[in-house]
Amino acid sequence: MKDRAQSVIATCRRIAEMSEEPGRTTRRFLTPPVRDVHEFLRTRMESLGMSARMDAAGNLRGLWVPTGALGKRLIVGSHIDSVPNAGAFDGVLGVALALEWVELAQELKLPFPIEVIAFSEEEGVRFGVPFIGSRAVAGRFDAALLALKDADGITLADAIRAFELDPSKIGEAALDDHVLGFVEMHIEQGPVLEAESLSVAAVTAIAGQSRLKFSFQGHANHVGTTPMNLRRDALAAAAEWIVAVEAKAESTAGLVATVGKIDAEPNAANVIAGSVSLSLDVRHADDGARRAAVDLLVARAQAIADKRGVTLDWAQQVDQPAVPMDEHLTADLTNAMLAARMPDKRMTSGAGHDAMVIAASVPAAMLFVRSPGGISHHPSETVREEDVAAALHVARIFLDRLAARFG
């Protein structure tokens, strides 16, 4: 698998050069470099004997159908868009690996078709809403999204038309009933596999997510003339609450909670902060545990506000339920890991992925590949050749056993 692993890495590096910005990788939904990626991938698909097409949401889809194919098809893929100044492997690794799956399937003489999907959009960078590509494939695309505008005032509908596609046909991108399941391979984007010296892991669930906005309102005043006991310091209240957020996450297994954004007013060195707004992101694979944590943190924020003589406003922005991966496909992956003489590591994904959207329509599974240093969404993001080879080894066994079950 060494040569294949090297080929996969080279493919990712080559695609990273297809960018909106010289010298760094930035590739937003349906921007000009996406055409370059499509042309590159289409050439590879056709060299593998696949038919290739683009749906109305800009997803590139390649289909390999073996002679005398039986039954339903397996779908494999990930996304090809990126965050600004990205690394080379987030999303793209899953597409490059998917094409290797087709070659493995041909060698194994698999009896069922394989469809590779390079999703057009997952990151939500250009229009502020993620999963545009996989929403369309899952049949969950809301036509209201077509009115969204990017930073240049271009609507989503116009961006699709500018790519010579018809937004009125997005509904035709939805999957039919002839699907065995969907498998996504993705870098972990975290440090767990690195810490445990493991190459791959099967994802059991994608964590549910709550996002909220909080605002502490106090009273701005001069720092030199206002005694400590007479202050209504919004920033001090916020700081106490941030520590409480961290403490709750540290004391609850599987919970992560983050205050990632804070804005203080008037934000001057010699003025007591009169108002502070903050973000809160809470994630857990168990929705009950996540929502209980949110309720506790809201109550804690209110108690701190009352104690300090400030007021509190808050609003929930996102309540995304956890998405379990399909038990049977996940078991197939873990059994393949064991057969490849690897630990059957299972873990929850704290980040969202296309698989969580597709799972609403068909059985879905994910395989994580180690992220050296736990780094992602950064130019230094990378993968190790031996880990990619391990993922391909697992894939070969997985496909062989899937053929035995569905052939």
Where are the chain's structural domains?
2-206+323-406, 208-320
Q: Which CATH architecture has domain 208-320?
A: 2-Layer Sandwich (3.30)
Q: What is the mean pLDDT of residues 108-118?
A: 95
| pLDDT at residue 381 is higher than 90 | yes
CA pair distance 214, 278, nearest whole angstrom: 5
| pLDDT at residue 18 is higher than 80 | yes
Q: Give the right CATH number for 2-206+323-406 from 3.30.2310.20, 3.90.79.10, 3.40.630.10, 3.40.50.300.
A: 3.40.630.10
Query: The whole model's pTM is what?
Result: 0.88
**Mean per-residue pLDDT of the chain:** 96
| pLDDT at residue 407 is higher than 70 | no
Q: What is the mean pLDDT of residues 377-394?
A: 97
| pLDDT at residue 405 is higher than 90 | no
Same CATH topology for 2-206+323-406 and 208-320: the answer is: no
